[in-house]
Amino acid sequence: MGKKDKLYRKAKESPENLSCTEICFLAEHVGFEFRNQSGSHKIYKHPKIKKMLNFQPDKKDKSKAKRYQAEQLVAIIENNNLMEG
Domains along the chain? 3-79 (3.30.920.30)
Contact present, 63 and 20 (Cβ < 8 Å): yes
Name residues whose C-beta falls within 8 Å of residue 77's C-beta, 6 or more positions apart in sequence: 8, 30, 83
Q: Kindly report, residue by residue over 57-80, the tens digit of the pLDDT.
A: 989 999 999 999 999 999 999 999
Q: Kindly report, residue by residue over 33-50, the tens digit of the pLDDT.
A: 999 999 999 999 999 998
